[in-house]
Structure 1
Amino acid sequence: MRVVQAYRFALDPTTRQAAALASHCGAVRVAFNWGLAQVKANLAQREAERSYGIPDDQLTPALSWSMYSLRKRWNQVKHEIAPWWAGNSKEAYACGLTRLADALANWRDSQQGTRKGPTMGFPRFKTKRRAARSVRFTTGTIRLDGHTTWCCRC
């Protein structure tokens, strides 16, 4: 039997640290929205080509929705899309692209009837006001200003 244990920590960031955390959360949203725009543009292009009677084998190639493919493309264009990208952790962008890949997979599975639960709609763009501000760092502790920023208030 495998036991999974989780911990919840309260953060008490300084003003500067709060701004850095907000920037990381914004990076998640930027990567998600960029990837979604790429997917929607690809789908629209292929649909337009179909409406002109272009055979399926001659359509614009379908864009892969995998996290790996989205991240590979992001790394090719991040200098143009977000010239400030280096100011945030690479994990923030990966988090946004992972969320997009998961949302697209859930939508696809829902459309095909292979996903349990209610029908999922196609992913929507994230806005500053509507999107939850969150980011996941999967490679270990993140440090800001040279020291750990996570403060535990138990």
Structure 2
Amino acid sequence: MTLQNFSLFNEGAVAEIDRFLEDIFPAALAYAADSSWNRDKPGKRDDAPVSPVIDVIERDDEVVVQAEMPGVAKEAADVTFAGGVLTLKGAISAPGPEGTGRRIHAERCARPYERSLRIPVKVDAGRISAALKDGLLTVTLRKAEELKPKKIQVEMA
């Protein structure tokens, strides 16, 4: 009796599983499209936006949103605020091979970033600022005047 190597995950089985999952769970596969093992497969969407990770900090007079957007140039960052929703967008220019040669493996891509979040307080839309430094986008949204705490001086009656 001779032993044969058996692998459940041969190329044909993986392709069949991919087809099944793409039919059943298309939204869940958006995350899988980011993983390096899936990067070079034909027919995969490399242009789907990536949702940047964020921190939201509320202070007495402002809300600060910080989003990681590595590789985005200042000119390619876009911040909009409408209807209480802050939308952050950014694009990375396509990485090109340096010098000549055949690319053997590629994980870097030129996918856009996009994330929208509802700001839970009233904001003075005229006093929103944004800065991008070292891949960290910081958006400062000043609270509307009526939301700021006011010190009331007590006088003698």
TM-score (norm 2): 0.25
Q: Which has a greater percent of helix?
A: 1
Q: Which structure is richer in relative contact order (CA contacts within 8 A, separation 6 or more)?
A: 1
Which protein is bigger by CA-based radius of gyration?
Answer: 2
Q: Which has the higher strand share?
A: 2
